[in-house]
Structure 1
Amino acid sequence: MILAKNIHKRVHTAAGELSILSGVNVSLASGDSLAIVGASGSGKSTLLGILAGLDVPSEGFVSLDGRNLNELDEDGRAKVRAESLSFVFQSFQLMPGLTALENVMLPLEIKGLKDAARRATFYLDQVGLEPRAHHYPPQLSGGEQQRVAIARAFASEPKILFADEPTGNLDAHTGAKIIELLFQLNAKNNATLVLVTHEQRLAERCNHQLVLEAGVEIASSTAHVQEQPQAQIPVGQSC
């Protein structure tokens, strides 16, 4: 599902060439989950962007859902993203002038799906927010906004979900609920999940971990993740 070989990323600065990533490799099958971990500035988000086709490597090869991103221009990579990927960001990325329902519907409508409202309502219900469907983001708590963002990501029923510090703006209690919700929905959809996180509790839920230090892969591990009891989030419960 995702194959990246010998990924390098270099940028030119006033002080000379800066190496952000050096020789990183990733191989994930359908349904796998990967946590990319490391200190700030280690290249985590840069790697996620390259794997998702948001950025291009200076050197190396990336294949996404069977398509060679190196052979595609920006329009081609955008088409792959639209067809196969969804994203969850730390900052939620909701449109403040749209209701929760409208935020979830928006990417579905852009795709031209005729059942956008039905599908958006279904996924809002999956995250326990159907009663808040007609509220605007400023009327929702941080946890509720992230749940809307998760509903929006899964409503597209992506093959691959990328999440960049999805609990970074949440308190520990709310973040724990969001982690449970993210893995519940991912298991139901059998998507490949790629996370950037600094939280070990989140990284340990993934069956692969990749540790970066100054852009270099210093550790990589694969673990058999036992299914854990998952606390369902009742409809209407705040987080």
Structure 2
Amino acid sequence: MGKDALSIGANTLQFFARNPRGAKAKAADYNDMSKFKELLEENNFATIMAHAPYTMNGCSPKSHLRELSAQMFAEDLERMEFFPGNFYNFHPGSRLGQEVREATEQIADMLNQVMFKEMHTTILLETMSGKGSEMGWRFEEIQAILERVHLQDKVGVCMDACHMWNAGYDMVGGLDEVVEEFDHIIGLHRLKAFHLNDSMDEKGNRKDRHARIGMGRMGAEAAKGIINHPKLKDLIFILETPADLVGHRDEIELLRDAYNWKDLP
């Protein structure tokens, strides 16, 4: 994983903490984890991100699924302590017929159950597209969850370009306004990372179909605008596009060439 990132010129990465479509996780191999940690340190990687499984749903109407989600979350956070100072990103969940307020409280309850004062991981709620009954497709929904979390210094947000575009936020012609709205509702101090991608669909259709940079409805200029926006350019950027390693290498080269380096110290 780390060597693959280095081979394509990346200085950060995202990985699934367990089977993304299930609930099982492999037994911890601390020897392998130690080698991975050493590789990250030796190559000056930026903050990395673990992604929760898609099956995690802290606002399921079924209590046993909420309990399973909390269990997976707690186990993943325990493992993340081996890599202190990094991010754990998750999709807020789908309410499946429940009221938004009830789902909001359930997600916050899960976070308050699994988080602990000594943890060295920052939990990120991802902005969603609004497909089905997804929570977190409006900034107001994310803020409603965040404000109920007890350990305020250990939570943040990961924006996803495709998701926000499909949720109706104009990532192409209105990025300044989107950033201002986020700052007004949530606060830019909460924004820690950004998933870069394009979208196969038109703005506001509430689908979730990622495309490679420049090969979707948003276009390459949207991604270039995001990475160079004065209030976003210092974030951790993660590619979430349907590409292989060669494709990701090409996307990294494209974005690196477009990045404005002159303001860096």
Q: TM-score range by the shorter chain?
A: 0.3 to 0.5
In terms of fraction of residues, the more helix-rich structure is: 2
In terms of fraction of residues, the more strand-rich structure is: 1
Asked which structure has the greater RCO (Cα within 8 Å, sep 6+), the reply is 1
- Normalised TM-score (structure 1): 0.36
- Normalised TM-score (structure 2): 0.34
